[in-house]
Amino acid sequence: MNQIKFSALFLACALLALTAQAQLAVTVSPLKITGQRVIVPLALTNHLPQSVVSARAMCVLLNEQGKMVGQTAKWVIGGGGKGRPALTPNSGTTYNFVITSPQPLTSTNLTTKIVVTRVILEHHQITNANAVVTIDSSAK
């Protein structure tokens, strides 16, 4: 009986270790500024064992004082029949956030904050975005 409990515990730990490594990786590239428009390129890679049907993210644009000068939230994968396909396991895609400032940008020293707010996996399984998403903005 103890052998069965130990085996079940070992299996649970092994599965937990595998899922801890699985992720939706988001890489933020340096932003591009043209006039009053800022483009924030993202590269998304699915390291999860199932397809990501939809993912919604928010992009906040900050000036050098940390003041917000623009924001947007969009479905970066899938999202209500927009024609963007699901992201299958071990595949990647790109997405460009476009933020238009109502006033002329007085500085080109801008930073971005990306937050993935929702991730929906195949079979309509909603998952905790904080647990499965890693964001690498070191390229900025």
User: Looking at residue 78, which CATH number applies to its domain?
Assistant: 2.60.40
- Calculate what percentage of the chain has a pLDDT beyond 70: 80
How far is 105 from 70, CA to CA, in rounded Å? 10
What's the pLDDT band for 135 if we cut at 50, 70, 90?
A: very high
| 11 domain-assigned | no
Question: Is there a domain that residue 69 lies in?
Answer: yes
In a domain, 6, yes or no: no
In a domain, 68, yes or no: yes
The conformational region for residue 11 under phi > 0 = left, psi -120 to 50 = alpha, else beta, is alpha
In this predicted structure, what is the pLDDT of residue 105?
Answer: 80
Asked if residue 70 is part of any domain, the answer here is yes
Residue 21 has pLDDT above 70, yes or no: no
Answer whether residue 3 is part of any domain.
no
Does any domain span residue 12? no
Of residues 15 and 127, more confidently modeled: 127
Task: Count structural domains, the chain.
Answer: 1
Mean per-residue pLDDT for 121-138?
90
Q: What is the pLDDT of residue 82?
A: 61
Q: Indicate the range of 19-23, 51-55, 91-95, 132-136 predicted with least confidence.
A: 19-23
Residue 41 belongs to domain spanning: 23-136
